[in-house]
């Protein structure tokens, strides 16, 4: 396949790619109506067919879940059911204006409220809001609730520190910073759990009084369930702090255990992970949050409620609200998908999600244990974190090289170098929607690659060799920054 | 369950290899008191695909959508033409189900579309660089303010009252969390003219066309920003940029906007598309993903990668330029297809049609008893002053199948008799005439009935 | 026009290279009197995409579809469950816009799906081979008759009166053109029992389940065909084959059927999908395309090609086994996806549900005043004898939102009080109960009103 | 890319690929209800995700118009607008049952009748029926009308011969045979036109009395307009025969000239060619036919008519009808697409179709004239037929080799070896929807290939080398016939 051309290179002045609406109102003089006009507008001009060819051929060099196995750790690349796309496309959902009178969209509010209620039940929290637009946005919203909570006790100025484990995802400290908090890192112990001594130290005495809260990922980014979770929550609470759960790993827990029961005060969810709204190449995400009653007063506006009689209403009279965190009701059409997904499983089958996600991850871990040992010798949850340290040490082969070589074998690589605390980390999250044969084929490929690493390491260094391009020069990309088509 | 492929045989073989007896064993590290019992969750029962679709269809039919009424409601979200090709492209599984292109060699197709998106957005706004997308315009604006704070090192931002009220609310939320101050510049007669409050601010934020539809004087804003050592942040409807001199040409430092009008369903306000562009000198402060062109490490084929990654949360953590991770890639792709489909001529054509339709509507609605509230140039949206409560008029018109616009009273107490009316290329002369006729009738009724009290 | 990419510059350059002055010049061999003047054609004016969609939507809303009523109408076309994956696959541009795979190396994907389709159809019917598709069941049946004529060398075919009347009409048309004779075997009590007319016929054609829903005795038919030296051609609803012993197991020589129930929209009867399977010994007489597996000429990779091409019109011309060229490939793909999605269990499940629903409906409708007309086993469709004109009852039930079935009077004058009722897996107990209740009401009204005359 | 597995190889007992409707009516005993049941049912059992991967990956090795240029002569592989797919999917069309009362589908009948009327106007015939399901089916239906016409004059037994030019598509003689006609071949003259002398001979005296009609393709399959068309029709009519137009090449004529005006009595159309209903990998086709008043009595039933007052009705009382040729109203959802297409062009732009189709074909012919000469030195219509005879003679390179090599350059090959009368025929039909750059790239590739043919013929013999498989063994496919998966 030849290198694809830029859409601008395909452009010819005067071509059109669609039949835009005609206009039957009188002409106007644009200058006198609008004022200063622009000089030119360099957008592509191509026919409909050439448009479709461009994007069709580019899709052929884009790896998606429907192309093959995509075990990107921490991202829960599960199957995105096609029925969800059909329901989200219904004109009665897709054609709603967010500022049309609320009374004209009862079906939409019913759906939103139902999603909230199902998520409350699944997470063990008393309220959920769907306003956050992605995981990180949800984290930030949770921290804002925590901030407002402390402020309501007059402790806003005092509690300025957020504790974040060293294994946390980058969005955790970044979200804390976005809320004006300083971040204190909490180490992970040898066994892969939160270091309770260090935590106790951070919560002790004066230090403890400055702590706004702890951001804990459970299961952790090591793919391990935090067995001391109840104790940890108690410790933080005792010091007056709040505990936030990074719920990116909720796929390990759906129907099996509930963060609300663990002692967390609030959590975020990535509906685009756990509840299968499609990742879309990097979004839209969908970041619901769950919280307990004491944080409810601070919920972002507007709040969608259900009254005793079952009807759904919009509560905008929220004097203690942190305010809006996004323009409207969240990623509505993604909520339609999540709703469809939840109703397809139902109470009967919902636990199958976490049970098979965990089964698959443990299976991969077991199959690979001789070539790529797990960072911790414990049952993993929905994902396993392995280390390629030996290959780096002995053969100069890095985790990234193994990943790139996997592309040649037709697989999307796992996550690399995360969590940061595991050297040469390879984080594999198979998800529940993968069949045993797929896992076997993937493990077989890894085992083969590990053999290649030993005998023909250059195969890995030069990988991938089967794609439209070989390994790309990221340093050059930064140094000779080219982020828009300069030939325009 | 068709989403989970495991057969009993699969499960048995897998458990045997793992060396445990049951799936329950794998959860043994979870304290038993935290485990749910089977079927314990109180959520509705499963529906099969056919019943599920029927159920969702029924829910959807409870709503009044733009297919059922004629839409003159805008206020940042617009009923615009969406070419069929947009859906055909973004529904392709390769795009729909991939994720952030961390492994560029396996995602060259998507990366190229993002690079093309950045190019088109930069061009549209007249800016040097654009990022891969933000969540929506409101968060993009808040991020722009925070970016300005970081660049100028002041902890206060100024925003015009003629900026979308929801965006300002979001800005306020973000600012509160960071301990920043937001000062609001009151617009006069629907336009931002007095910039004295920009003093000591890191930036001044104006929207053009603003929330009232009025085209702001960006040269005035630019001058004021420069005078006060502040950055100029402009919020701008991308469609208006097809015709208007773009913010970049006025020297804007950062331009943000809502990409929804470019090929994205209104969808009750989500998913949307935050646009973010800035001057090249600020590119290292930009939030979010950005894609760059490079070449192979050991070859000379060109390719695309995510770049300037050290700005981002996964590498820089609490020092990152933003906490954003997942953005709105698929919506950016929709906008890319849209801009490609319309191209220069198509985009200018629909923008011009919108202007013509709006001008025609201004005439028509004025002759039905409305009055244009503000006198400055508008793009395709305007404020109509009514001799009655705007909410009441809106409700009456809705009964006649017309979604008449946004009553402004909730946002601007002084404008409770005002309706914000948007007229896009989708509207026809006939529809506008019907609106005008309906308005006449409604106003006549309101004046002759007890409703008349509302006017006092 | 977005479908035609030519700019003025393109046209000028192209004409220059060709060496003519204008496009008109290229038409110079057409006698001038035969040329149309620009704009001479009297067809409606162009509509832009948005108005065009609105216009089509409006037209579509004038129709009553199965979304608006509860469908108990079958008669060969069924309201069955279609998994969302079917549409997702067949809308992919690669499948939708390719053509007959004349260049196998560039079409391996599609060819493989056809090979898989053939395998599944052969399996379903219990036959050895199946082709790549025919237009619809009616033409497939006519082709089967003609194929039998060619094999047996007799110029007469026998067909049961319990075969779909439209299929028989099509057979009659084809036979007339070829000078063949069609003899009709009258069914007794809804079943084909007397095969004496098969004498001197090239084949006997029965449908099972037949038009009345009754399961025919294929062993009887097989025996009769053998006795008379004729081939046995069976028309069979593929869904019924999920449960029933398939025609192949009874020794059928050719089996045809309508593939629509397998993932294809009813679509007012088109596009449909003709299924065609036969014994391997007849494969060289089969009409239409057939895909085979082979290997590379100079390698050992396996691949797929269209095969037995010398049967076909483009090579064999007037001696071809049929004139069919373009078939129903995309519909065959839909059925392939459907059969893959449902698989063994899913298909048997929906077939069983249909049987259960039909049995329940038989009970319910009988207690509402209907009577089962025929007593033999049915699959999921049956003939209900009413104490009133079936057309009138159908019309009345339609007003109550129920598409009650097909009045048989037009096809079988003796059955003017009979309604052919189909009950698929899509119907629920509640819907059947509502049908029964409505029927009771309608019959009561008809008996108490002037309508009662209709019964005489 | 590895060779794709069979869907059966991916099957595991017990998997399901969709959530089928549940059943809430009482269970029944299947044996007593149905009688003999089948023993097993070997259909694939895979998950939804594996289903999608299978068909997605197979689509990646399927060349379509949206992948690239597809100049398959005689097939009119033009762009299939996406809006047509949207309108055809409208529930008010897709959800109609063909046997629901006609009164409940006025929109559908209005649409069908409007298509008929537009096609009448475009072709110059007085009536159109949409019942035929593809081109060949339309041919056959036309011949049946002709047969019925002769029968109505008592000439059915006498007129048993159909004249078919030697350049005709294979469906023409095959359709004639399907109507019990014997076929007499009419040669093409040196100039590429119908040999009038031979035609006159065939129509002369007794021979002429046996002629039912002539099947003429205009423009011919040589891509040439038959300049003597009026004369030819007169000659056939004078002999008492009818003239059928094979309208597969209507794309050359839309809005420019009308077969009805040429003297033809009837014609077929391939809506999947001229009117852009998608080819779908080999169907559904869509075969409308047009005819003149004298053939109307014989139209297949039912006939959709419009009455004076504008309303549309179904005419089933047709005593002279040939009867049904298909089960219902034709390829209805394809007619929806054709209607959408026609209304997108409208009277203003409809002629642009033929004008640009002809422009493109002549451009390609001109660009290639030095390497692949046209079979006839005349302006072509919508397609051009070139000959690779020289390459075969001089370098042992066949037309097929050139075609296969084009695949390596990213193009779908043209039609080969048709029409049969041109040695080493390469029949190129670009269609109007291709841009000049695409034609240039294609012509550049052909020129390069012709050079390769001269200097490195093995490149062509071995082509294609870039696909999932190399050239396949068609003889083996016949000899070792394997048309269903034997491993089942
Ligand atoms: C553990 C964890 N937390 C938070 C996030 C942030 O979620 P999002 O990308 O939706 O902002 C991610 C995902 O990327 C994650 O893996
Ligand atoms: C000239 C010609 N006539 C007739 C046909 C037959 O049309 P169809 O394939 O739709 O049956 C074709 C197309 O293949 C053709 O090219």
Mean pLDDT of chain D: 96
Pairing of strands C254-258, C231-235: parallel
pLDDT tens digits along C94-110: 999 999 999 999 999 99
> Which phi and psi (to 5°) does residue C254 adopt?
-135, 135
Q: Which of C67, C109, C138 sits opposite D60 (nearest CB)?
A: C109
Cβ-based contacts under 8 A for chains B and D: 55
> Residue C359 above 60 pLDDT?
yes
- Is the CB of residue B35 less than 8 Å from the CB of residue A256? yes
For residue B323, what pLDDT band results from cuts at 50, 70 and 90?
A: very high
CA dist B33 to B50, B297, D147, D379, Å? 38, 54, 85, 86
Beta strands C381-385 and C371-372, pairing class: antiparallel
* B327-351 pLDDT, tens digit each: 999 999 999 999 999 999 999 999 9
Residue of C174, C250, C269 best to disrupt the D interface, most CBs of D under 10 A: C269
Average pLDDT over residues C396-424: 97
Question: For every residue of chain B, which 3-state class applies, written as one string?
Answer: CCCCCCCHHHHHHHHHHHCCCCHHHHCCCCCHHHECCCCCCCCCCCCCHHHHHHHHHHHHHCCCCCCCCEECCCCCCCCCCCCHHHHHHHCCHHHHCCCCCCCHHHCHHHHHHHHHHHHHHHHHHCCCEECCCECCHHHHHHHHHHHHHHHHCCCEEEEECCCCHHHHHHHHHHHHHHCCEEEEECCECCECCCCHHHCCCCEEEEECCCCCCECCCHHHHHHHHHHCCCEEEEECCHHHHHCECCHHHHCCCEEEEECCCCCCCCHHHCCCCEEEEECHHHHHHCCCCCEEEEEECCCCCEEEEECCHHHCHHHHHHHCCCCCCCCCHHHHHHHHHHHHHHHHHHHHHHHHHHHHHHHHHHHHHHCCCCEECCCCCECCEEEEECCCCHHHHHHHHHHCCEECCEECCCCCHHHCCEEEEECCCCCCHHHHHHHHHHHHHHHHHHHHCHHHHHHC
State the best of A7, A14, A19, A341 to mutate against chain C, taking most chain C CBs within 10 Å: A19
Cα–Cα distance for residue pair D65/C436, rounded to 1 Å: 51
Q: Does C450 have pLDDT greater than 90? A: no
Q: What is the rounded distance in angstroms from the CA atom of residue D155 to the CA atom of residue D157?
A: 6
- With a 6 A CB cut-off, is C323 part of the ligand 2 pocket? no
pLDDT value at residue C455: 45
CA distance A75 to A221: 11
In this predicted structure, the answer to whether residue C448 has a pLDDT above a threshold of 90 is: no
d(CA A115, CA A98): 18
Q: Supply the mean pLDDT for chain B.
A: 96
**pLDDT given at position B313:** 83
pLDDT of residue B316: 86
Instruction: Give residue D477 CA to ligand 1 midpoint distance, Å.
Output: 53
Helix (H) or strand (E) holding C184, with range, is strand C181-185
Tell me if the bond preceding C209 is cis, omega within 30° of 0. Answer: yes
Strands B156-160 and B203-207: parallel
* Inter-chain CB proximity C84 and B426 less than 8 Å: no
The shortest C-alpha distance from D429 to chain A (Å) reads 16
- D488 compared with B415, residue with greater pLDDT: B415
Distance (Å) from CA A273 to ligand 1 centroid:
9
Euclidean distance between CA atoms C455 and C419, whole angstroms: 15
In this structure, the residue with its CA closest to atom 9 of ligand 1 is B326
Q: Span C333-338, mean pLDDT? A: 98
pLDDT of residue C454: 47
The residue-averaged pLDDT of B105-132 equals 98
Q: Beta strands of C302-369 (E only): which ranges?
A: 302-306
Cα–Cα distance measured from residue A2 to residue B368, given in angstroms and rounded to the nearest whole number:
61
Q: Is D352 helix (H, G, I), strand (E, B) or coil?
A: helix
| pLDDT at D383 (0 to 100) | 98
pLDDT at D96: 98
| Structure confidence at residue A2 (pLDDT) | 75
Q: Do D85 and B49 touch (CB under 8 A)?
A: no
Per-residue pLDDT at B315: 84
Is residue C362 helix, strand or coil?
helix
Percent of chain B with pLDDT strictly greater than 70? 98
Please tell me whether residue D290 adopts helix, strand or coil conformation.
strand
Q: Are the C-beta atoms of residues C357 and C427 closer than 8 Å to each other?
A: yes
Distance CA D308, CA A109 (A): 50
pLDDT exceeds 70 at position B455: no
Please write the tens of the pLDDT for every residue from A302-330. 999 999 999 999 998 899 999 999 999 99
pLDDT above 50 for B456: no
Query: How many angstroms separate the CA atoms of C344 and C359, rounded?
Result: 23
CA distances from D62 to C95, C134, D469 (A): 7, 22, 12
Q: Looking at this predicted complex, what is its ipTM?
A: 0.97
Chain D contact set for A357 (CB, 8 A): none
Distance CA A247, CA A270 (A): 7
Q: How far is the CA of D267 from the centre of ligand 1 (A)?
A: 63
Residue D486: which pLDDT band, with cuts at 50, 70 and 90?
low
- Residue A443 scores a pLDDT above 50: yes
**Chain A residues in contact with B277 (beta carbon < 8 A):** none
| pLDDT, tens digit, 9 for 90 and up, residues D229-247 | 999 999 999 999 999 999 9
Only one residue has tokens 């060709």, namely C18
Q: What is the pLDDT of residues A279-296, one digit of tens each?
A: 999 999 999 999 999 999
A241 torsion bin: left (phi>0), alpha (psi -120 to 50), beta (else): beta
Cβ-defined contact of C341 to B93 (cutoff 8 Å): no
Tell me how far the alpha carbon of residue D214 lies from the centroid of ligand 2, in angstroms.
17
pLDDT in tens, B162-217: 999 999 999 999 999 999 999 999 999 999 999 999 999 999 999 999 999 999 99
pLDDT digits (tens, 9 = 90+) for A380-430: 999 999 999 999 999 999 999 999 999 999 999 999 999 999 999 999 999
Summarised one tens digit per residue, pLDDT across range B28-57 is 999 999 999 998 999 999 999 999 999 999
Of the candidates B28, B88, B166, the beta carbon closest to that of A324 is on B166
Section A251-275 average pLDDT? 98
The mean pLDDT of D300-305, rounded to a whole number, is 94
pLDDT at residue number A111? 98
CB C207 within 8 A of CB C163: yes
Confidence of residue D3 (pLDDT cuts 50, 70, 90): confident
Give the three-class secondary structure for D463. Answer: coil
Are D52 and A68 in contact (CB < 8 Å)? no
Report residue A486's pLDDT band, with 50, 70 and 90 as the boundaries: low
Task: Choose among B233, B217, B237: nearest CA to B225.
Answer: B233
pLDDT number for residue D488? 55
Pair type for strands C274-278 and D425-428 = unpaired
Is A191 in the B-facing interface, judged by CB distances under 8 Å?
Answer: no
Number of H helices, E strands in chain C: 13, 15
Q: Taking residues B150-164, report their average pLDDT.
A: 97
Q: What is the largest CA-CA distance in chain D?
A: 77
CB contact under 8 A, A435 and D47: yes
DSSP bridge partners of C204: C158, C232
Residue C413 — pLDDT band, cuts 50, 70, 90? very high
pTM, two decimal places: 0.97
Q: What is the pLDDT of residues B294-313, one digit of tens each?
A: 999 999 999 999 999 888 88
Give dist(CA B134, CA B140) in Å, integer: 6
Model confidence band, residue B1 (pLDDT cutoffs 50, 70, 90): confident
Query: What residues contact residue A191 under an 8 Å CB cut-off, 6+ apart?
Result: A376, A378
- Express each pLDDT in D66-119 by its tens digit: 999 999 999 999 999 999 999 999 999 999 999 999 999 999 999 999 999 999
pLDDT band at C1 (very low <50, low <70, confident <90, very high): confident
Residues in the ligand 1 pocket, defined by CB under 6 Å: A 74, 134-136, 169, 171, 217, 221, 246, 248, 270, 285, 287; B 325-326
pLDDT, tens only, C215-259:
999 999 999 999 999 999 999 999 999 999 999 999 999 999 999
**Mean pLDDT, all residues of chain A:** 96
- The Cα–Cα gap between D404 and D411 comes to 9
Say if CB A305 and CB A102 are below 8 A apart: no
Residues of chain B contacting D, Cβ within 8 Å: 1-5, 7-10, 48-52, 83-85, 87-88, 93-94
Work out the average pLDDT over B236-259: 98
Confidence of residue D487 (pLDDT cuts 50, 70, 90): low
Confidence of residue B450 (pLDDT cuts 50, 70, 90): low
CA C370/CA C440 separation, integer angstroms = 9
- Cβ proximity of D92 and D106 under 8 Å: no
The model's confidence at residue D419, banded by pLDDT at 50, 70 and 90, is very high
Considering chain D, what percentage of its residues have pLDDT values greater than 70?
A: 99
């Amino acid at each position: 396949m030849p290198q694809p051309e830029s859409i601008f290179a395909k452009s010819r002045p005067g071509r059109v790619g669609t039949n835009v609406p005609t206009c039957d109102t009188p002409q106007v003089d644009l200058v006198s109506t609008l004022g200063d006009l622009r000089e030119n507008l360099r957008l592509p001009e191509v026919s409909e067919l050439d448009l479709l060819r461009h994007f069709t051929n580019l899709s052929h060099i884009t790896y998606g879940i429907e192309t093959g196995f995509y075990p990107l750790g921490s991202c829960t690349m599960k199957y995105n059911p096609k029925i969800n796309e059909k329901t989200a496309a219904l004109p009665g959902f897709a054609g709603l204006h967010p500022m049309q009178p609320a009374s004209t969209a009862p079906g939409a509010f019913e759906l939103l409220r139902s999603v909230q209620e199902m998520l409350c039940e699944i997470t063990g929290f008393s309220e959920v809001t769907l306003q956050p637009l992605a995981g990180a946005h949800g984290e930030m919203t949770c921290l804002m609730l925590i901030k407002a909570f402390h402020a309501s006790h007059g402790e806003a100025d005092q509690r300025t520190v957020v504790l974040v484990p060293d294994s946390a995802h980058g969005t955790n400290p970044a979200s804390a910073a976005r809320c004006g908090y300083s971040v204190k890192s909490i180490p992970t112990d040898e066994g892969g759990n939160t270091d309770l001594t260090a935590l106790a130290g951070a919560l002790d005495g004066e230090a403890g009084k400055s702590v706004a809260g702890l951001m804990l990922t459970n299961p952790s980014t090591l793919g391990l369930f935090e067995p001391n979770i109840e104790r940890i929550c108690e410790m933080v609470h005792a010091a007056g702090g709040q505990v936030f759960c990074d719920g990116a790993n909720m796929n390990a827990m759906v129907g099996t255990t509930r963060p609300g029961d663990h002692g967390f005060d609030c959590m975020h969810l990535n509906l685009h992970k756990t509840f299968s709204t499609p990742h879309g190449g990097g979004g839209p995400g969908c970041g619901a949050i769950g919280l307990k009653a004491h944080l409810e007063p601070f919920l972002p506006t507007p709040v969608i409620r259900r009254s005793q009689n079952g009807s759904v209403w919009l509560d905008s009279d929220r004097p203690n609200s942190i305010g809006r965190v996004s323009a409207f009701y969240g990623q509505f059409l993604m909520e339609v998908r999540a709703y469809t997904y939840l109703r397809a499983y139902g109470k009967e089958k919902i636990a199958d999600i976490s049970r098979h996600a965990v089964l698959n991850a443990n299976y991969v871990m077991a199959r690979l244990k001789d070539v790529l040992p797990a960072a911790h010798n414990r049952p993993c949850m929905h994902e396993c974190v392995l280390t390629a340290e030996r290959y780096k040490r002995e053969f100069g082969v890095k985790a990234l090289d193994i990943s790139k070589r996997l592309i040649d074998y037709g697989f999307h690589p796992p996550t690399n170098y995360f969590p940061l605390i595991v050297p040469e980390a390879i984080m594999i999250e198979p998800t529940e929607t993968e069949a045993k044969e797929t896992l076997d084929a993937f493990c077989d490929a890894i085992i083969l690659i590990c053999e290649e690493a030993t005998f023909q390491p250059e195969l890995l260094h030069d990988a991938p060799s089967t794609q439209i391009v070989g390994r790309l020069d990221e340093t050059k990309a930064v140094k000779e920054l080219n982020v828009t088509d300069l030939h325009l | 369950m068709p989403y989970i492929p495991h057969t009993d045989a699969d499960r048995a073989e897998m458990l045997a290899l793992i060396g445990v007896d049951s799936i329950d064993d794998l959860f043994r590290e979870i304290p038993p008191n935290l485990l749910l019992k089977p079927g314990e969750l109180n959520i509705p029962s499963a529906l099969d695909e056919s019943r599920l679709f029927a159920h969702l269809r029924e829910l959807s039919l409870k709503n009044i959508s733009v297919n059922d009424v004629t839409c003159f409601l805008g206020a940042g979200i617009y009923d615009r033409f969406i070419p069929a090709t947009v859906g055909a492209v973004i529904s392709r599984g390769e795009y729909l189900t991939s994720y952030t292109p961390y492994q560029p060699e396996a995602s060259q197709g998507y990366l190229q579309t993002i690079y093309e998106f950045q190019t088109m957005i930069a061009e549209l706004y007249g800016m040097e660089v654009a990022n891969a997308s933000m969540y929506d315009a409101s968060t993009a604006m808040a991020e722009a303010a925070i970016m300005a704070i970081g660049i100028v090192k002041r902890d206060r931002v100024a925003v015009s009252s003629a900026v979308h009220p929801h965006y300002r609310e979001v800005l306020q939320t973000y600012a509160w969390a960071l301990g920043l101050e937001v000062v609001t510049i009151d617009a006069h007669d629907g336009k931002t003219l007095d910039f004295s409050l920009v003093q000591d601010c890191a930036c001044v934020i104006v929207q053009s066309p603003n929330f009232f539809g009025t085209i702001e004087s960006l040269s005035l804003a630019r001058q004021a920003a420069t005078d006060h050592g502040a950055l100029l942040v402009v919020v701008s409807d991308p469609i208006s940029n097809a015709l208007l001199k773009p913010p970049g040409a006025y020297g804007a430092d950062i331009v943000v906007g809502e990409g929804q009008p470019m090929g994205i369903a209104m969808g009750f306000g989500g998913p949307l598309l935050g646009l973010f562009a800035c001057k090249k000198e600020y590119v290292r402060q930009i939030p979010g993903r950005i894609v760059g062109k490079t070449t192979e490490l050991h070859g000379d084929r060109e390719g695309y990668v995510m770049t300037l990654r050290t700005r981002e949360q996964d590498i820089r953590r609490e020092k990152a330029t933003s906490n954003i991770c997942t953005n709105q890639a698929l919506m950016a792709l929709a906008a890319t297809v849209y801009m490609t489909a319309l191209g220069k001529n198509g985009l200018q054509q629909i923008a011009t049609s919108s202007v013509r339709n709006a001008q025609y509507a201004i005439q028509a609605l004025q002759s039905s008893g409305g009055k244009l509230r503000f006198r400055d140039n508008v793009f395709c949206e305007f404020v109509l002053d009514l001799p009655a409560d705007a909410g009441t008029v809106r409700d009456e018109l809705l009964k006649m199948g017309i979604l008449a616009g946004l009553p402004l009273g909730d946002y601007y107490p002084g404008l409770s008799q005002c309706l914000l009316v948007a007229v896009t290329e989708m509207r026809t002369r006939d529809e506008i005439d019907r609106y005008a006729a309906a308005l006449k009738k409604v106003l006549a009724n309101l004046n002759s009935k007890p409703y008349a009290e509302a006017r006092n």
